[in-house]
Amino acid sequence: MEKRYVFGDVMIGKEELKKRVRELGAEISKDYKGESILAICVLKGAVIFMSDLIRELNIETKIDFMAVSSYGASTKSTGVVRILKDLDSNIEGENVIIVEDIIDSGLTLKYLKEYLMARNPKSLKICTLLDKPERRVAEVNADYIGFSIENKFIVGYGLDFDQLYRNLPYISYLEEE
Residues assigned a catalytic role: 104
In terms of Cβ atoms closer than 10 Å to its own Cβ (0-12, 13-18, 19+), residue 44 is middle
- The SS3 assignment for 69 reads strand
> If residue 111 lies in a helix (H) or strand (E), which one and from where to where?
helix 107-117
Closest CA to 98 of 138, 140, 153: 140
Angstrom distances, CA of residue 24 to CA of 2, 29, 51, 81, 108 = 39, 8, 13, 27, 22
* Rounded CA separation 102/161 (Å): 13
